[in-house]
Amino acid sequence: MDNISKYPPEKIKRLLKAYPEDVSKKYLESREILETKLPEEILSQWENIGLDIAQLSSRSWEPSLSFFSSSVKVQQYLPSGQFLGWCKSGYALSKDSNKIAESFLNASSQTMVRLRPRYIEEWVSRVTKLHKGTWKSTNLTCKLFEYTP
In this prediction, residue 5 carries a pLDDT of: 75
pTM of the entire predicted model: 0.92
Block means of pLDDT (10 residues each) for the chain, 149 residues, are: 78 96 98 96 96 96 98 95 94 96 95 88 92 93 89
Q: Would you report the helix, strand and coil content of the chain in percent, each value rounded to 5?
A: 70, 0, 30
| Distance of alpha carbon 18 from the chain centroid | 19
Question: Kind and range of the H or E element at 127?
Answer: helix 120-128
* Secondary structure class of 68 (helix, strand, coil): helix
